[in-house]
Structure 1
């Protein structure tokens, strides 16, 4: 059967991303060609849409439609590392995990991986062709572990990395639940006062022809606005949010917004520490598994969520490839915490960049936790006080009007 043309993106031994095309019967031949050239595949897909899909298998194309949570991937990784550490070979470990999978989609994933491995594919290639379920970082670490005969160690470090990332994300999300609920409940209470409670007093004021205080007139006007235009205002807010999300999809706007956020006084400190924790944890893990520095930095660029931080990392990668210092390059942009760049400089000077980067990650993850706690300690009382003042203003406006009625009666 004549071969088809395949397009590929890969990282060569110097850490440079290269693209090209290769005529081959299937995706496996393209991957074998890239391994022979000592390149790590990032993407392999048919040059024509009439060819096979990028997974090379209809089995794994099903996985593209499934959504896998980070916790599910971390749990699978930890269990697989435990099985390998207990002395099981990869085939038996995958068989056991497939039989005890907590859901059908996990079972489908593991069964497909095991079938690929039994057909002769490497575990890294099987992961890479699993419909995009596993990230470049994940595949790269496993490939390095397989090449060095240390798959168990690679999976252990991967599990640690995924669990720490999940913990970091959960810390921020959990901390914002209470302030969000408090804000929504308080806003709802104020809206209820303005649209349902206050209007019941308005006819009383109008019947007696009392001259209402300025504060009362303002509150009544606000209630009328919400009553008659509340739905329109809500739709405008929703439209504004959707419009902002659409604008943020434009790279140049997202870059400016991310840069401005990093320079903020409180949120900026939190985001810089989150970014530093992501960079150092991922970089240290990759280096510990034998991934070259330039290649590791390119993978890390896809982990850092802030566009401005990722752009600074791209500049630093170019500087390192030309023989420069990673720490000095990051210091020039002044987007990452100075403490992180000092850690990296020490790591470069002592040739212990991997271990120092992991220690820096511990420091910045703790800094994130402390910052979130402090932010929460300020945010909750602030919301309570502000909403309390708003409610007090509404009640005061009513009392002033009632006093005016009383004066009129006398």
Structure 2
């Protein structure tokens, strides 16, 4: 989603600057007007000279754990009656490096009369759109300490899930990398000398051996081309994956792949339910909440469905039936959300759904951590067996010809 940098005035004539995520320039204007802002300057953030390339790098590198600690400290200090500006100054004093620089900029903006949410929004690579909107709602309601407390818990749970998923994938990736390296080594350096022996013996080679020799000759004769092509394909795949279409296709594959489909679906349910629930409970209206959720949700199928049905959802005030049509949400989850709609407690019901399925997601990840290495071992054993057969079948034939 493109990012736009803006300069605007609020209803009181106060100058406000920041950034906004939107599909187009017109959409960005609409979003700002919905927030009660009159934009006088609006341009793609990439073309802005106000933020250097190096400062963007500094923002990106701040770990999520630091944001969690920062949010918790703000919540505690505000709860104890310390004024916001004083809280920021205290956080500046105890921070260092990149985070300190960002907090100094936030402090200066707040001193000039910029709202805390708008000051944070300038650093969108550190403080997400969900974070900033919840802070804005907290400022408007006078319950910023409560909102930040809830946000701390939400960030902690999200980070824990990301760590678990990374842990589930780390060992299989290492195992796969090691296996590929060994196989490439065998095919490139061990098989060619044996191949010469087979050719000189005039033995009719089995099909599996011919295939292995073809692969071996490709690796040994064209490895620079293969290396460059592999890197180019990887870069192209990563770029394609970031497009809406690429994300949609990959997520469609994931939800149909037996070993990961439950993980993919449950993760989408948790992310959507917790994010939308937090926003609604924080006082953000349904229209703005949906816009934010459509931007931050990872699952391409869910994102596409929400974008297509957004106008209908806002008009009807009903979301459960649209979630059911995605094929991602289990019947019990859509039933609970529908109950929340009917009772007027959609936000709290979404949080309840998110909590229930978060526990299921944790269990799913634990099962994957146990299952994936076994599957990887089985696959690699099959590949190694093929290599062994491709070598020993011709040797056996040579022995039979020699009368051994």
**Residue in 2 aligned with 1:134?**
127
Deviation per residue, 1:119-141 (Å, 9 max, x gap): 33332232234466423221211
User: 1:179: how far off?
Assistant: 0.6
CA contact (8 A) 1:144 1:290 kept: yes
Whether 2:293 is the aligned partner of 1:311: answer no
Deviation per residue, 1:281-339 (Å, 9 max, x gap): 11221122222233322222222122331232234442332234211232234343333
Distance in 2, matches of 1:347 and 1:404, equals 72
User: 1:264: how far off?
Assistant: 4.6
3-state SS in 1 of match to 2:387: helix
Deviation per residue, 1:7-30 (Å, 9 max, x gap): 7699xxxxxxxxxxx9x895469x
Instruction: Describe the shift of the 1:133–1:9 C-alpha distance in structure 2 as closer, same or farther (beyond 3 A).
Output: farther
Instruction: Describe the shift of the 1:118–1:315 C-alpha distance in structure 2 as closer, same or farther (beyond 3 A).
Output: same
Distance in 2, matches of 1:174 and 1:91, equals 39
Deviation per residue, 1:226-269 (Å, 9 max, x gap): 21133333333333333334444554554455445445544333
Whether 2:97 is the aligned partner of 1:104: answer yes
Distance in 1, matches of 2:384 and 2:17, equals 67
Structure 1 unmatched runs, 5+: 1-5, 11-21
3-state SS in 2 of match to 1:46: strand
CA contact (8 A) 1:42 1:136 kept: no
Structural mapping, 1:20-59, within 5 Å: 26-27=15-16, 39-40=34-35, 46-47=41-42
**Residue in 1 aligned with 2:71?**
77
CA contact (8 A) 1:78 1:159 kept: yes
Distance in 2, matches of 1:26 and 1:8, equals 6
**Residue in 1 aligned with 2:56?**
64
CA contact (8 A) 1:60 1:129 kept: no
Instruction: Describe the shift of the 1:214–1:324 C-alpha distance in structure 2 as closer, same or farther (beyond 3 A).
Output: closer
Distance in 2, matches of 1:73 and 1:185, equals 35
Whether 2:305 is the aligned partner of 1:327: answer no
CA contact (8 A) 1:320 1:326 kept: yes
Instruction: Describe the shift of the 1:38–1:188 C-alpha distance in structure 2 as closer, same or farther (beyond 3 A).
Output: closer
**Residue in 1 aligned with 2:85?**
91
User: 1:280: how far off?
Assistant: 0.8
CA contact (8 A) 1:63 1:133 kept: no
Q: 1:371 aligns with which of 364, 373, 384?
A: 364
**Residue in 2 aligned with 1:171?**
164
CA contact (8 A) 1:60 1:130 kept: no
Q: 1:274 aligns with which of 267, 280, 296?
A: 267
Whether 2:341 is the aligned partner of 1:348: answer yes
Instruction: Describe the shift of the 1:230–1:154 C-alpha distance in structure 2 as closer, same or farther (beyond 3 A).
Output: same
Distance in 2, matches of 1:139 and 1:232, equals 47
Instruction: Describe the shift of the 1:43–1:77 C-alpha distance in structure 2 as closer, same or farther (beyond 3 A).
Output: farther
CA RMSD of aligned residues (A): 3.6
Distance in 2, matches of 1:242 and 1:61, equals 21
Deviates more, 1:332-341 or 1:246-255: 246-255
Report the TM-score when normalising by structure 1.
0.80
Deviates more, 1:297-306 or 1:396-405: 396-405
Q: 2:284 aligns with which of 272, 281, 291?
A: 291
CA contact (8 A) 1:258 1:306 kept: yes
User: 1:352: how far off?
Assistant: 2.3
Instruction: Describe the shift of the 1:94–1:7 C-alpha distance in structure 2 as closer, same or farther (beyond 3 A).
Output: closer
CA contact (8 A) 1:59 1:112 kept: no
**Residue in 2 aligned with 1:358?**
351
The structure whose Rg is larger is 1
Distance in 2, matches of 1:204 and 1:145, equals 77
